Amino acid sequence: MLKTIKKDFHAIFERDPAAANSIEVVLTTPGLHAIILHRIAHWMWKNGVPLLPRVISHISRLLTGIEIHPGAAIGDGFFIDHGMGVVIGETTIIGNNVTLFQGVTLGGTGKEKGKRHPTLGNNIVVGVGAKVLGDIVIGDNVKIGANSVVLESVPSNATVVGVPGRVVKQGGRRLSGAMLDHIHLPDPVADRLERIENELEEVKNQIRGFKDES
């Protein structure tokens, strides 16, 4: 557990430009506080300790504004930026080097039993206010844009934007440092409208050509 927490700590300096020094990060980073408390609660949850894991989770929510169910499984190098309003459900599975921004929900879609929350792969960033809902799988190296609502599984090396989320392939290119730039994302709707406008302009030009010939 200590090795995992150490990786979480280093992830803050890798991804947060506001991280000035170790003391400041330890004292003032709610995402770090939330993940440390979660890892303790999760260990108790896995070992069958009654009640106390949920109490720790509740205290963590009161202190940080971040709600992580103790049953959620979270990999190494996990980073929550700011974090207020983040919700992570009980059967959520999160891989390594995943970044969540404030207002993100990894939740369910109803009262179904069993696995009802998403599974996230490695090297993923989920933008501000995004919702990933249901027992779906988000592949490795995926970017989910701010305020997107993702209801279906997403292949690896893709970008998701919109409501509902639309996938834009990334050609297998691994998303590394640039992953935090979740503002400059492709807009498939705007791209399609631009193509339609270009096609209409071509039709207009053809009609003008026919008129000139006549």
Indicate the pLDDT class of residue 2, thresholds 50, 70 and 90.
confident
pLDDT value of residue 166: 86
pLDDT value of residue 187: 63
For the cut 70, the answer to whether the pLDDT of residue 87 exceeds it is yes
- Residues 6 or more apart whose Cβ sits within 8 Å of residue 46: none
Spatial contact of 106 and 91, defined as CB atoms under 8 Å apart: no
37 Ramachandran zone, left/alpha/beta (phi>0; psi -120 to 50): alpha
The residue to which tokens 């400041």 are assigned? 24
Least confident of 74-78, 120-124, 195-199, 207-211: 207-211
Question: Residues 95-145: pLDDT tens digits?
Answer: 999 999 999 999 998 777 889 999 999 999 999 999 999 999 999 999 999
pTM of the model: 0.76
pLDDT value of residue 54: 96
